[in-house]
Chain A
Amino acid sequence: MNAADLASTYDLVVIGGGPAGLAAAAVAARAGLSTVLFDENPGVGGQIYRAIASTPLKDRAILGDDYWAGEALAAEAGASGALIVTGATVWSLDPGLGVGVSIAGAARLIQARRIIIATGSLERPFPIDGWTLPGVMTAGAAQTALKAQGLVPDGCTTVLAGTGPLLWLLAAQIVRAGGKLDMLLDATPGANWQRAAIHLPDFVLSPYFSKGMSLLQEVRGRVPVVRVDGLKAVGEDRLREVVYRAKGREHRLAADLLLLHQGVVPNVNLALAAGVTHRWNERQLCFEPVVDADFATSVPGIAVAGDGAGIAGGAVAAERGRLAAIAAVRALDPSARVPDAQPIRQRLQREERGRAFLDWLYRPHDALRRPNGDTLVCRCEEVTARQVRDTARLGCEGPNQMKAFLRCGMGPCQGRLCGLTVTELIAAERGTTPEAVGYYRLRPPVKPITLGELASLPKSEAERKAVER
């Protein structure tokens, strides 16, 4: 598939090929909408079903049933008639529903009548001392390498640290695969139980409960688990030691691989650049788009489905994608046949049950979200917590002004790995809320594009005449 082969207009453009995007594309294409799905990865599946069609892991027990559920979803989308383009990076989306996309080094601008953003989530920043050292990675990265390439940790000492369901899932997967995992440092704040407890009955009734319990049991039986309330990575050129505080005492552990995780947050860059209104979610400690029951946003024609609309997991993401697609079909072709939305909403409700418990229980520690001193906040421009805090105290009111002072958020990751930290630090220093502080102003291109790719855009005679003398 080349950029030149794309049509100039599609009824529906779906951005992201995880559960939400696959489910949305399948519903829309079956109902007769001309549908294209773009994903920047070499295959569909998103993060949860990464490499679902190509993983070298044949032993299905390693990744578990929840992973292999992605096969049916990918097959459904593949057979739906939707055009699925992988290796396709969407770098621009404007409020008029124009989409800029690059495929194999050539760019195109195409027009959509409806957009479903399904760009999912990314791991919450984990700004501790030494988190930029080689040898420190995210837990999600290790899971990606396991799913896509069948790579498992096999160093001298591997440590998994942080909080959240994915931490335990990855621990179980590494152990099942015969990988090396020496210690799990559980940084879940003990005080979280107070707020989580009232949601326990809902959690017990949810599908998460039995899965969660057996996962905890499986991991605890095979990996030493230590409760910690302080964590850093130490080394000059690479990770040498993990230093953690447990029961008031500091411990040092020689290690060559530290995998960090403290939950996932919506990947907001594309939706923000398109002008979609977002708000702060205090329970999940992140920004999320404001959406209605059909996942429509403040920008007419643009919906956000999946974890990008607020974290709820893969099964929920697929249901959200279906609802967003049904709404798109109804708007464009009221006579088209679509699945009944009611049972989908019921499944959605059932799946969302128990989420409040998980959110409150695994809410990451303040000190692991709002660092101090020389801890790097912005990895790209190497800006420290002290610099951000001092500048906020000087009178800098928001993340955009902070860019002018410190360049934080202006490196290649475009704030993805520092945005939430900078917002929370400014709010803490200025005694206000993250909602009031806001987030970085994001503009296209939301992914890097070369001048060569831009120059490859097809040009009309009128456009040429406008610049030629």
Chain B
Amino acid sequence: MFKRLVEGGTAVTLTVDGTPVEARAGDSVAAALLAAGIGHCRTTPVTGAPRAPYCLMGVCFDCLVTIDGVGSRQACLVPVRDGMTVESQQGKREAGR
């Protein structure tokens, strides 16, 4: 859906649902997911519908993911870091997170 206009920059590797994903320093987690072509980042608690980042400015909360074990983080507000672990959220928040 998206391509990078500018090549280069510092490469950063995330693990998204167990799979390594290449990102750039300066990406938000949400931007990194979009750039990597990841289709959705969570399913909803009510109907289990898939959701992906919608507003990218911290207001819609559709990009909620688990980052380094902490659930329901706003992926659009968290900058990527090398070695970061990102997990999609399935329906209701898992207990203990």
Which A residues are within 8 Å of any B CB, using their own CB? 40-42, 47, 51, 54, 56-58, 89, 122-123, 132-138, 140-141, 144-146, 148-155, 177-179, 237-238, 256-257, 267, 379-382, 411-413, 416-417, 448, 450
Interface pairs (20), CB distance under 8 Å? A41-B77, A42-B79, A47-B57, A56-B26, A122-B59, A141-B54, A141-B57, A144-B76, A148-B28, A149-B4, A149-B27, A151-B3, A153-B2, A179-B5, A379-B60, A381-B46, A382-B46, A411-B61, A416-B59, A450-B70
Across the interface, name the chain B residue whose C-beta is closest to A134.
B52
- Which interface residue of A54, A151, A154, A177 has the most chain B CB atoms within 10 A? A151
Residues of B within 8 A of A145 (CB): 2, 31, 34, 56
Contact with A along B1-39 (1 / 0, CB 8 A): 111111001000000000000001011100100110001
- Known contacts being A42-B79, A56-B5, is A141 close to B72, with CB within 8 Å? no
User: How many residue-residue contacts, CB under 8 A, span A and B?
Assistant: 127
Q: Does B62 contact A (CB under 8 A)?
A: yes
Smallest distance from the beta carbon of B83 to chain A beta carbons, Å? Answer: 17
- Known contacts being A41-B77, A152-B3, A256-B1, is A140 close to B62, with CB within 8 Å? no
Smallest distance from the beta carbon of B62 to chain A beta carbons, Å? Answer: 7
Across the interface, name the chain B residue whose C-beta is closest to A141.
B56
Choice from A47, A51, A150, A450 contacting B5 with Cβ under 8 Å? A150
Across the interface, name the chain A residue whose C-beta is closest to B31.
A149
- Known contacts being A140-B56, A149-B31, is A155 close to B49, with CB within 8 Å? no
Smallest distance from the beta carbon of B14 to chain A beta carbons, Å? Answer: 14
Smallest distance from the beta carbon of B26 to chain A beta carbons, Å? Answer: 6
Contact with A along B48-79 (1 / 0, CB 8 A): 01111111111111101000001010001101
Which B residues are within 8 Å of any A CB, using their own CB? 1-6, 9, 24, 26-28, 31, 34-35, 39-40, 44, 46-47, 49-62, 64, 70, 72, 76-77, 79
- Known contacts being A56-B26, A448-B72, is A151 close to B31, with CB within 8 Å? yes
CA distance A178 to B72 in the complex (A): 35
Residues of B within 8 A of A411 (CB): 61
- Contact, CB under 8 Å: A41 / B58: yes
Residues of B within 8 A of A137 (CB): 52-56
CA distance A138 to B53 in the complex (A): 10
- Contact, CB under 8 Å: A122 / B55: yes
Smallest distance from the beta carbon of B21 to chain A beta carbons, Å? Answer: 14
CA distance A381 to B49 in the complex (A): 11
- Contact, CB under 8 Å: A151 / B4: yes
The 3 A-B pairs at the shortest CB distance, nearest first, are namely: A134-B52, A154-B3, A141-B56
Residues of B within 8 A of A148 (CB): 26, 28, 31
Residues of B within 8 A of A89 (CB): 77
CA distance A150 to B35 in the complex (A): 10
- Contact, CB under 8 Å: A237 / B56: no
Smallest distance from the beta carbon of B40 to chain A beta carbons, Å? Answer: 5
CA distance A58 to B54 in the complex (A): 26
Choice from B4, B52, B61 contacting A380 with Cβ under 8 Å? B61
